[in-house]
Structure 1
């Protein structure tokens, strides 16, 4: 089974921990990188100095409601940095939130990078859904590595 590289961006330690454990249990995901804020993600992984270029497309789970730059603002800035070539190009972005607000879902759908919306806490069905969404987005890569 192909292992998918994952980054979880969430200000809540317990939510990052729960997601990491669930993804580890699934077995289809590589080591999960945890980041506590959108600003930290952009600063550490999406700049000219340390642009993150993983060997496979990256799955990003990002919370909507975070202090500082929220999830939507982070995705907007990430898109700008992609155009500058200092952010990973091949990504699957999933909004990862406890908000069931229809306005949040509509806002998430307005970003071309966002492939879906997963509600917290992440359960086994959610982990499998993430795996299948990634496989659908990058079938050639999945087939080549599997």
Structure 2
């Protein structure tokens, strides 16, 4: 299967973003990987893409829950305001070190969130995502 066009990582942990980028690139999972350590910056990027060039909107987003400033839940609230015709083509996944069952239940209760995964990102998670969400 050909790689996804674009994946966005949103996590305040620079090392985690580096590891995720490396795994995604080594597995030829996506042509482009863009990382943000600040959810507000990621949201600005997504807003711009949605309104100015929807073709560059990501196919997939990995979102952390616990971040300074805007956390994952607040990000989702703002993400919902983006045009539906753009966001419906994007799969949003929570990727978090949170082990609180309430966070997992809450994540899965959001219509926008396709699934919840615990860090670290693995090859197995990428294979699962590809098989479940991107095989035609």
Does the CA contact (< 8 Å) of 1:54 and 1:88 recur in 2? no
After superposition, the Cα gap between the structure-2 partners of 1:30 and 1:101, relative to the gap in structure 1 and judged at 3 Å, is same
Does the CA contact (< 8 Å) of 1:8 and 1:62 recur in 2? yes
**Which residue of structure 1 aligns with residue 123 of structure 2?**
124
**Which residue of structure 2 aligns with residue 135 of structure 1?**
134
**Which residue of structure 1 aligns with residue 105 of structure 2?**
106
> For 1:43, what is the secondary structure of its paired residue?
helix
Does the CA contact (< 8 Å) of 1:82 and 1:88 recur in 2? yes
- 1:57 deviates by 6.0
Q: Residues of 1 paired with 2:125 and 2:76: CA distance?
A: 21
Large movers: runs of 4+ above 3 Å:
47-52
Does the CA contact (< 8 Å) of 1:62 and 1:94 recur in 2? yes
> For 1:122, what is the secondary structure of its paired residue?
coil
Does the CA contact (< 8 Å) of 1:46 and 1:52 recur in 2? no
**Which residue of structure 1 aligns with residue 2 of structure 2?**
2
> For 2:99, what is the secondary structure of its paired residue?
coil
Does the CA contact (< 8 Å) of 1:52 and 1:88 recur in 2? no
Equivalent pairs, count: 135
**Which residue of structure 1 aligns with residue 73 of structure 2?**
72
Q: Residues of 1 paired with 2:40 and 2:58: CA distance?
A: 21
Cα RMSD over matched residues? 2.3
Q: Residues of 2 paired with 1:77 and 1:71: CA distance?
A: 10
**Which residue of structure 1 aligns with residue 59 of structure 2?**
58
After superposition, the Cα gap between the structure-2 partners of 1:88 and 1:98, relative to the gap in structure 1 and judged at 3 Å, is same
Q: Which runs of 5+ in 1 are unaligned?
A: 140-146
TM-score by length of 1: 0.81
After superposition, the Cα gap between the structure-2 partners of 1:89 and 1:74, relative to the gap in structure 1 and judged at 3 Å, is same
**Which residue of structure 2 aligns with residue 25 of structure 1?**
26
